[in-house]
Structure 1
């Protein structure tokens, strides 16, 4: 897999996690909720307006009919009474007035010939009395108005709606035109209230049906709108997973169709760019591999010559001309450096091409570290804290490469003594599943701005020193060797001073190596 494709896959993983979080705020749910709220608002508003208009119409129609009939009865019947009627006359007139078509209760109040207040009711509605009439209404009825061109009568008809024990009533009162008898009327509005309750229930049911209908409509609309969006999301995930040939079927001329065309254009451009990058990457990798192989032949001859020159330098006879001795030492040193660089480039090429393989063996980690230190004559500069008996099944050669790079880097940049400690780390089940090797120096540590780049290829900590004894590939190769084992290397600064490199490797990488072989096999 190329670096470009790896970057696309990493983007896909991050994008997939982001999309999984967005499921909690479903666009479909939001569409349904918005449709429902709009429909509910509209239905409630329409129902409220309809109820209010019908309520006013029903009550006004009933009220006007009752007041008109009561006023007519007051003129036709109570108006015929004497100024000071007797009790029986009031009683008879009240009953006659109650027989009108509106069926209301009547209360008549007057004074007899002795000036005594008398009253009589029609006998309905549990004995309609003066106490049932609101005081404010009685005051208004008995108040004499000034008669002028704008007001022809001294007394007017007044009414009021009251509620008693949950039942609405209409109460009205007036005096006869020439004064004298005062009449009050009480009309139950319970039938109208029942009709209005039925209307309210009907409007409520209609509102509920409208809400359900809007939800179904929103579901249908969401399905129509979100299906292309869903297809776009699936295509984006496939594209992020590295399937760069993913395309959307474009139909129509709406905004979603334009979005699909834009996606297809972007996918095509991305595929072309990734292919170009992959081709350049392959060409660069082939160039490095070919160059490394081509350099090995002349380097072999040069190395043979430098070995002879080095033997001459170490000979006791002193046959080497002192004038050319520094040049010979420089040639020997640079030849070794060039050999290391070519070997490192070939190793990097194998990692990039995916051809690096593990050759496993059971090793004692302490013995392996000791052999690595002894082979490079570092025994006096390295303190080893490792118990024998910690065994692991891994690739000894690659472990030696990792240790040589980590310890050599510590000696070069941190100075001796370098401390190497070995321990095991337990898995969840309690079994020691990892070998942990820490390499610590006693130098100034790694600058914070350099820490993220210590494993980068050819990275130089100081731009003013682009040339150094190393190739700039050692730590990068060590990290690749750790990864091929399923392990990891981390770099940090110790609180006590100095840099600490921590290597973690599984104690048995047999399954990992077998899986790698299966993937590489055709």
Structure 2
């Protein structure tokens, strides 16, 4: 129970990410650019301010220490006492820079004397060894230390960090054997100021990033809103709503794209309207022509039936002509019936009249009505039933079996099986099979496999009508070649076609067969495709 909502939420999240992927990319790009610029600017500003603050503090402390050494330490005796050194160190430390002082000299006995501004606060151990070495190394009067000092004093300094607190350590000595002085200044206030500056720059960077994201969102909305409208309009156009147009405003590239879309949609609407009008005119012409031909064909058919019955008493010179007239009349009648059936499919007026059908009985009845029992092998169990249109199923079977007998070779084998919710009927012949280049076109209307044989006994619409009847059931027909030789037509139909039934059965029956609408019931062969009614009559005779 807990997986369902989570899965739905994940799908919704993924759909949202897909929908706004371009928006996200724009926001990310804007944010990265802003972040790079802000971090670069903040880093440069921090580095410049850090150097300025540290250099200013360092120079002030070192200059003050240097002056104190010049004014105070240089005036001490050559062999100062500890009290003198302590007093001088305290006086030096009381300056404005606030550093600790350590003075080292020698008394008359040659022992080292140390003076400290703060007892045990600053000892020689706090001075880095490298700095002590530089201070104690003999220097010439005109040499320069790290600080660039000149005159009699050579000032050296170094920064160090101890327990997380930065310090500045400086040292020098009075030339000519005078005392050596060291100073220690805490840089913690400056470090706090620099930390505050870093936090300020970080906050400014974050604000810049947020501002860039908001600007990117606004820019993406401005740019993508017309694109979204264009996508919606394109989907509506793809759904067949050819009157879809976009509102055009502005003179930018997106406005030009909208104008191009509107122009394309208008041109497409006009062309589709013209094609639909021509198609409707052609379909109406075929339907009208077929209906108009039925009346004279009925009279001609009656005459040919009479002539056929009197064939034995006719002059032998006339009999072949009579047989030709009878054959061609039947063929023309088949063509008219098939054309009417095709126009019903094209117009969308073909409907199903469903009934419960025993498949084995239906196939047997189809074969028996056409006298094909000796040429067809049936492999179907009794009791397999389906809810289908019996008349249209008979049309499908008659066309598939008749095509197999005409173009393949007997025996034709029919097998019936159930595949889940579908019913599968296979019709296989023992001929040479269907050429590979012909397979994609076997269900095309009026398609001829050989251009040298433009005329055949059929109308060229049988397999097309069979496929349309399968489609109206929600099924399909496929054609292939059997590995053992011969062609195989596979009919797949649902067990229950009620889901695709669009309307009332009686109305559908009347629309599907105009003869019933006129109150005529001509039997099971009426309204079949490809001459099945005439084949049934001939079989009866």
- Aligned counterpart, 1:183: 181
- Aligned counterpart, 1:453: 441
How many Å apart are 1:348 and its aligned residue?
0.6
Q: Is the deviation greater in 392-401 or in 459-468? A: 459-468
Question: How far apart are the structure 2 equivalents of 1:187 and 1:407?
Answer: 109
- Aligned counterpart, 1:261: 259
CA contact (8 A) 1:418 1:441 kept: yes
Q: Secondary structure at the match of 1:486?
A: coil
* Alignment deviations for residues 396-422 of structure 1 (CA, whole Å, 9 cap, x no partner): 111111001111222233322221112
Is 2:354 the partner of 1:375? no
Question: How far apart are the structure 2 equivalents of 1:461 and 1:22?
Answer: 52
Q: Secondary structure at the match of 1:500?
A: strand
Question: How far apart are the structure 2 equivalents of 1:21 and 1:29?
Answer: 11
- Aligned counterpart, 1:244: 242
How many Å apart are 1:37 and its aligned residue?
1.9
Q: Is the deviation greater in 288-297 or in 344-353? A: 288-297
Distance of aligned partners of 1:269 and 1:462 in 2 relative to their CA distance in 1, 3 Å threshold: same
- Aligned counterpart, 1:127: 121
Question: How far apart are the structure 2 equivalents of 1:128 and 1:500?
Answer: 106
Q: Secondary structure at the match of 1:369?
A: helix
Question: How far apart are the structure 2 equivalents of 1:179 and 1:405?
Answer: 127
RMSD: 3.0
- Aligned counterpart, 2:53: 58
- Aligned counterpart, 2:338: 344
Q: Secondary structure at the match of 1:80?
A: coil
Distance of aligned partners of 1:69 and 1:202 in 2 relative to their CA distance in 1, 3 Å threshold: same
CA contact (8 A) 1:153 1:177 kept: no
CA contact (8 A) 2:410 2:429 kept: yes
- Aligned counterpart, 1:229: 227
- Aligned counterpart, 1:75: 70
Is 2:502 the partner of 1:507? no
Question: How far apart are the structure 2 equivalents of 1:268 and 1:517?
Answer: 40
- Aligned counterpart, 2:353: 359
Question: How far apart are the structure 1 equivalents of 2:152 and 2:158?
Answer: 20
- Aligned counterpart, 1:480: 468
CA contact (8 A) 1:413 1:443 kept: yes
CA contact (8 A) 2:353 2:505 kept: no
Match of 1:415 among 386, 395, 409: 409
Question: How far apart are the structure 1 equivalents of 2:506 and 2:500?
Answer: 10
CA contact (8 A) 1:79 1:177 kept: no
* Alignment deviations for residues 133-154 of structure 1 (CA, whole Å, 9 cap, x no partner): 2222222223334455999647
Match of 1:284 among 279, 282, 285: 282
How many Å apart are 1:332 and its aligned residue?
4.3
**Which runs of 5 or more residues in structure 2 are unaligned?**
1-13, 511-541
Match of 1:217 among 177, 192, 215: 215
How many Å apart are 1:446 and its aligned residue?
3.4
Match of 2:428 among 425, 432, 440: 440
Question: How far apart are the structure 1 equivalents of 2:97 and 2:265?
Answer: 82
CA contact (8 A) 1:144 1:155 kept: no
Question: How far apart are the structure 2 equivalents of 1:517 and 1:172?
Answer: 109
> What is the TM-score with the length of structure 2 in the denominator?
0.82
Question: How far apart are the structure 1 equivalents of 2:229 and 2:50?
Answer: 52
- Aligned counterpart, 2:316: 320
Distance of aligned partners of 1:439 and 1:149 in 2 relative to their CA distance in 1, 3 Å threshold: closer
Question: How far apart are the structure 1 equivalents of 2:430 and 2:112?
Answer: 120
Q: Is the deviation greater in 385-394 or in 402-411? A: 385-394
CA contact (8 A) 2:106 2:113 kept: yes
* Alignment deviations for residues 377-436 of structure 1 (CA, whole Å, 9 cap, x no partner): 211111101122222232211111100111122223332222111223334xxxxxx322
- Aligned counterpart, 1:3: none
> What is the TM-score with the length of structure 1 in the denominator?
0.85
- Residue-pair matches, total: 492
CA contact (8 A) 1:162 1:170 kept: yes
CA contact (8 A) 1:312 1:319 kept: no
**Which runs of 5 or more residues in structure 1 are unaligned?**
1-18, 428-433
Q: Secondary structure at the match of 2:105?
A: strand
Q: Is the deviation greater in 66-75 or in 284-293? A: 284-293
Q: Secondary structure at the match of 2:493?
A: strand
Is 2:85 the partner of 1:87? no
How many Å apart are 1:349 and its aligned residue?
0.8
How many Å apart are 1:73 and its aligned residue?
1.0
How many Å apart are 1:325 and its aligned residue?
6.2
Is 2:95 the partner of 1:100? yes
